[in-house]
């Protein structure tokens, strides 16, 4: 029981420290000419941002991982009803 409590406490402290450090880092946000919002968080291997389709205004979550191979994951952002999120609504 004591080992479990200590392990849980250590995991919680590490998690909260990571959240605090991430919240205190500087981020640069900009929009390019295609209407894509870029969020550069300084992580050299993973970058995530929200892209908005200029015609439909549907928002997409884009995650790029360039650890060994360039991998890009794109998925529409959904609201609580399960419908795609529209920019401005």
Domain boundaries, given as residue ranges, for the chain:
27-76
The full DSSP string for 14-33 is HHHHHHHHHHHS--EEEE-T
User: Torsion angle of alpha carbons 12, 16, 21, 23, nearest 10°?
Assistant: 150
**Which pLDDT tens digit goes with each residue over 28-84?**
545 555 555 555 555 667 777 888 888 998 998 888 877 777 788 888 888 889 998
Strand 59-65 to 71-76 pairing: antiparallel
Residue 16 has a pLDDT of 74
Check residue 88 and give its pLDDT. Answer: 80
Residues 12-28 have pLDDT tens digits of: 887 777 666 655 555 55
**Pairwise CA distance, residues 42 & 22, whole Å:** 10
């Amino acid at each position: 029981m004591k080992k479990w409590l200590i392990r849980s406490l250590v995991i919680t402290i590490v998690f909260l420290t990571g959240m605090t450090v991430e919240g205190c880092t500087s981020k640069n946000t900009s929009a390019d000419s295609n209407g894509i919002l870029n969020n550069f968080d300084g992580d050299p291997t993973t970058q995530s941002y929200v892209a908005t389709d200029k015609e439909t205004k549907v928002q997409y979550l884009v995650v790029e991982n360039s650890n060994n191979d360039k991998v890009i994951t794109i998925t529409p952002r959904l609201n609580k009803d399960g419908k795609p999120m529209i920019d401005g609504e």
